Structure 1
Amino acid sequence: MINSTGDIGTWVHTNLATKPTLTPATSWSNGFAADMAWSDPQYMATIGVVLGNSTGYGVWSGDGGKTWAKFATYPQGVAENKGGEASIAITARNRAVWAPGYSVPSYTTDNGATWVPTDLPAINTVFPRAYHLVADRKKPNKVYAYDSGGHWWGTPGKVYVSTDGGHTFTLSQGSVDAGLAPNYFTNTSLAVNPNVEGELWLADGNAVYHSVDSGATWTKLSQFASIMGSNPWPDVQGATLVALGKAAPGGAYSASVYVVGVVNGVWGVCRSDDAGVTWTRFNDDAHQFGGIGVMAADQNIYGRIYVSGTGRGALYSN
């Protein structure tokens, strides 16, 4: 598990029962995001900011986190990216797409020796904002970029699709037609089914959407909804995180789907083993951890997810 963390940077856990030792040693820093090459997982990269001097960084490892090196150069926008609104997607060893906050994402094909801006639209705004990037695990030359709109009063969410490794992108008109709600970066999420090419899950802060055709069309699930009060923004967001893990034994669907959100007026972590037809609550009222900021699901152990508890470190289920 690659754990990008506030204040203590990024760590690679190879044994959850012991203190991790594998780290790029970025000192007092915030790790924003990390990714690995799905077909070559010894190659990984992480991005963040060193807090002492407020300097953005990007580092890579080719040996599963044993040794690390800084990218030789950084994309435009990294120096200004002080907050956690950023993402990185790795398509293969030495190939990545990096989306700093406020900026047009850039790609590298030479392990960071050079970075080239993509043709994605600029999303500069007065509110922290960035693209969510994710690479298709079955066909990694497909890269998906999700602009969540900035805030509840921002612009509607949009998804863009690349078929050339994240160099050029095309707007998914289906994502426009779906009417994705505008929401803040960290209240939204995009995930791929690693077992099926072109299958995407999206949480737009209010609801969950599913695409089975590489983002061309989207189906809105009916079970999730925000809890509204007297304000025009939600009191509790309806769906903020989505992650896919190992399928249920004998299950009809190729993955288990986990969503942090609200079903029937109750907030929690929900799981579906049938592609979103039915959902069951995965946690309970005694296990809410002060909120959940990030979530990942294990690909080898059914029922295991990893979450951040606010100020409580990395937590995992059995």
Structure 2
Amino acid sequence: MTPVPHHLSRRGLLAAGAAAATLPVLAPSAASAAADGKVRRTPYTFRNAEVVGGGFVTGIVFNQSEPGLVYARTDIGGAYRLDPASRRWIPLTDWIGWDKYGHTGIISLATDETDPDRLYLAAGTYTMPEWDPSLAAILRSTDRGRTWKTTPLPFRLGGNMPGRGIGERLVIDPNRNRILYLGVRGGHGLWRSTDHGKSFAKVTSFPNPGNFVPDPSDVDGYNGDNLGVLQVVFDKRTGRAGRATRTLYVTVADKDNILYRSTDAGASWERVPGQPTGFIPHHAVFDHVGGYLYLATSDTAGPYDGAKGDVWKLDTATDTWTRISPVPSTSDENHFGYSGLTIDRQNPDTLMVSTQIKWHPDCILFRSTDGGASWTRVWDADENGERATQRYDIDMSAAPWLTWNGSSTPKLGWMMESVQIDPFDSDHFMYGTGATIYGADNLTDWDRDGTVHLSVRAQGLEETAVMCLISPPAGRSHLFSGLGDVGGFRHTDFGKAPKMYDSPTFGGTPALDYAELAPHIIVRVGHPTSGWTQHFGISTDGGETWTPSGSEPAGLTGPGTEDQAVAVSADGRRVVWSPAGAPVSWSDDHGATWTAVKGLPSGAPVRSDRVNPAKFYAYDSGVFYLSTDGGKSFAATAATGLPTAGNVRFKAVPGHEGDIWFAGGTDKPATPTPYGLWRSTDSGASFTRFKAVDEGDVVGFGKAAPGAKYPAVYTSSKIHGVRGIFRSDDAGRRWVRINDDRHQYAWTGSSITGDPRVYGRVYFATNGRGVMYGDPK
């Protein structure tokens, strides 16, 4: 089951052993093992090789009764709780397994102000079954996310779909916490639970399921789903402890009917009179002191777009509406919608709002201390519309890659759909972006013409999608990663975010390789950004510096297949590249020139033998290919029985010529094909399947166990009916599972490798939880 590349587009787009001792431990793994059909145990500890952030933080939610209790949700990487002592985020959803990988897309989060131990997540990544076969669920915890129970739902929610920054869609009645409401997309309407989320039923009296579809022509596609019911907001003054709140407001994705109200605890509903039309409500906030409801609206679902919008204030005592937009939609200066919205609970006349998106030159935060009558901007524009006077500075030392190797003045962010002032501290606020969390502890200095000191606040939150990993046998760095959206990194200290690869800079790096006998030579391919045009880079000094290619294969449209698009010969003298839109090509001058290979289909994944520089391998549609002339030409081998579809990964074994391991296949009934793990010891002429492996997905190699001659083998697979991360120290005769059910990390089918210098250490890719590495205890 291969999920689609998750982010679609996010921005326009050790001394490792010594450092490990200082890192925070996620938790020890009492990992079970599958060997000869029996379950055994071996303990492992898992950590992140830190990037700090890297993905879209769609929501930040403060508990309204307990100071310091705050959560964050992400579009593909699950949910987190902030540890107030360390100011690091604690991951809460690593227990989600392979078969429910879609439950790491969190569309909404609710923390209970009556019982702060209670936490709820609305989980489900996509509405398209082919992208995410699982239906959505409510995940419930009574211990702040340490343990969970699941309530299945009969629909999909779209945690990584358009409009995912809207809301919160899931809310708890502040007076009677047994009651929860959930706004659902896809025309499914408004749903309610009266038993702490154990069950939900549709609120049949609610009149409008929404009708706004980002792209009606994209039927059943990513942009073809009705955004539906968006948010529920309580006027908690209309209830008391133990009694359901009488008055609540619901926003809807219908540009003609955006707001409904109930005054009888949800039994009946009316369209709020006099309401504005023409835009989609992104966030609503209720002022429980003044009785005002604030709305931030935009013309689109977001998070990537939005060209017009307004901010509105409703006096709920008189049903009087006032447009309080910092820049009204009727102004020629308004080229953006509004989204992130918050009020200062200590001073409810103080509110902030953000532009939904403003790619150039930057998003804007606005602040008012008089209920929206007047506003100031966090930066003022010059005559050319560029940032001029600023009321802030940014410390991004915790994540230096945030400049994307471009301007030394980083952006405030993009996709800034969650802006939150701490309800107990007017000086403390945080906001999410498409790449990180920023925050400050001196926010009110803004009101005294001071400088707000922003800094990265995403420590512990790792939300990158990892595409490829390599661990060379020599050099200063134990690990190189290729990531979606944020390029990739050379990790010299696993506890510190590095700078992004440069020369060229990539927005995503699907493939890396190093020369096994000359590991200072490393190649990478990716999607160029920050003014670069080249898709290929090479280093001859172990990744310290990089040089872009002098040319590219004719017709190239992209870097190629994830994790297997480029291979370098064992001696580093020849590169074979399988880009998108062009023939598989070879170069022996570091990419200055390219020549099409013979005998190989375009787009075929490629690998090099790790001993013999003349040998390269490739695969396409069940056929395995061998080159014995350094990748100039390939011929099909006689191998049979390999999968013809699905997620396919293969690698050659260091130190063993002609030794290849092959993982892949699919369990989808529409594409019947073998699904498992195979090995060849004759350069791909034949393969033998490992009977113990029910489903094989990715394989890699690391330093041999003490006394062993063959490298340790690592795989993310299902073995003897158990899905997990496994290691074999005897070439696959026996396997031990090294993760456990609390540390599953959802989908882990992109890349895995052992460390050739540290026995037992494994690095593996996740689709939203960053680069994980594990060591035996």
TM-score tier (shorter): 0.7 to 0.9
Check conservation: 1:10, 1:46, Cα contact below 8 A.
no
Distance verdict in 2 for CA 1:220–1:86, change over 3 Å: closer
CA distance in 1, matches of 2:560, 2:656: 35
- Aligned residue among 280, 294, 297 for 2:736: 280
Tell me what 1:239 maps to: 696
Distance verdict in 2 for CA 1:83–1:210, change over 3 Å: closer
Q: How does 1:104-115 map to 2 (within 5 A)?
A: 104-115=583-594
Tell me what 1:70 maps to: 548
CA distance in 2, matches of 1:257, 1:210: 12
CA deviations over 1:164-191 (Å, ceiling 9, x no partner) = 1111112111x2x2x111123xx11111
1:169 and 2:625 correspond: no
Which stretch has the larger CA shift, 55-64 or 265-274?
55-64
Tell me what 1:301 maps to: 758
- Aligned residue among 681, 706, 723 for 1:212: 681
CA distance in 2, matches of 1:264, 1:79: 41
1:218 CA drift (Å)? 1.2
RMSD: 2.2
Q: How does 1:142-221 map to 2 (within 5 A)?
A: 142-147=615-620, 149=621, 157-173=622-638, 175=639, 177=640, 179-184=641-646, 187-205=647-665, 206-221=675-690
CA distance in 2, matches of 1:268, 1:258: 11
Check conservation: 1:56, 1:78, Cα contact below 8 A.
no
CA deviations over 1:199-237 (Å, ceiling 9, x no partner) = 110012211111111111211110112xxxxxxxxxxxx
CA distance in 2, matches of 1:137, 1:304: 20
CA distance in 1, matches of 2:655, 2:747: 29
1:17 CA drift (Å)? 2.9
**SS in structure 1 at match of 2:693:** coil
Identity among equivalent positions (%) equals 34
CA distance in 1, matches of 2:645, 2:700: 18
1:111 CA drift (Å)? 1.2
CA deviations over 1:253-306 (Å, ceiling 9, x no partner) = 511111211112221112111111121212111111121122121111111111
**SS in structure 2 at match of 1:302:** strand
CA distance in 2, matches of 1:27, 1:269: 32
1:55 CA drift (Å)? 5.9
Check conservation: 1:105, 1:120, Cα contact below 8 A.
no
Check conservation: 1:60, 1:69, Cα contact below 8 A.
yes
Which one-letter code corresponds to 2:484 in the other structure?
Answer: G
Tell me what 1:222 maps to: 691
Check conservation: 2:701, 2:714, Cα contact below 8 A.
yes
**SS in structure 2 at match of 1:317:** strand
Q: Which has the larger radius of gyration?
A: 2
CA distance in 2, matches of 1:55, 1:300: 36
Which one-letter code corresponds to 1:131 in the other structure?
Answer: A
Which stretch has the larger CA shift, 29-38 or 59-68?
59-68
Tell me what 1:232 maps to: none
CA deviations over 1:98-126 (Å, ceiling 9, x no partner) = 01136431000111111111113325xxx
CA distance in 2, matches of 1:213, 1:82: 27
CA distance in 1, matches of 2:659, 2:549: 31
CA distance in 2, matches of 1:181, 1:58: 30
Check conservation: 2:698, 2:717, Cα contact below 8 A.
yes
**SS in structure 2 at match of 1:138:** coil
Which one-letter code corresponds to 1:63 in the other structure?
Answer: D
Aligned length: 286
Tell me what 2:492 maps to: 14
Which one-letter code corresponds to 2:630 in the other structure?
Answer: G
Which stretch has the larger CA shift, 189-198 or 131-140?
131-140
- Aligned residue among 135, 147, 167 for 2:608: 135
Which one-letter code corresponds to 1:202 in the other structure?
Answer: F
Which one-letter code corresponds to 1:159 in the other structure?
Answer: F
**SS in structure 2 at match of 1:303:** strand
1:117 and 2:596 correspond: yes
- Aligned residue among 578, 588, 591 for 1:99: 578
**SS in structure 1 at match of 2:521:** strand
Q: How does 1:78-97 map to 2 (within 5 A)?
A: 78-81=556-559, 84=562, 87-91=565-569, 92-97=571-576
More relative contact order in 1 or in 2 (CA 8 Å, sep 6+)? 2
Tell me what 1:41 maps to: 519
1:6 CA drift (Å)? 0.6
Tell me what 1:312 maps to: 769
Q: Which segments of 5 or more consecutive residues in structure 2 lack a partner in the other structure?
A: 1-478, 666-674
CA distance in 1, matches of 2:687, 2:562: 27
Which one-letter code corresponds to 1:298 in the other structure?
Answer: D
CA distance in 2, matches of 1:137, 1:296: 14
Which one-letter code corresponds to 2:692 in the other structure?
Answer: Q
Check conservation: 1:9, 1:25, Cα contact below 8 A.
no
CA deviations over 1:240-259 (Å, ceiling 9, x no partner) = 101111111123x5111112
Check conservation: 1:207, 1:221, Cα contact below 8 A.
yes
Tell me what 1:228 maps to: none
Which one-letter code corresponds to 2:486 in the other structure?
Answer: I
If the length of structure 2 is used for normalisation, what is the TM-score?
Answer: 0.35
1:58 and 2:536 correspond: yes
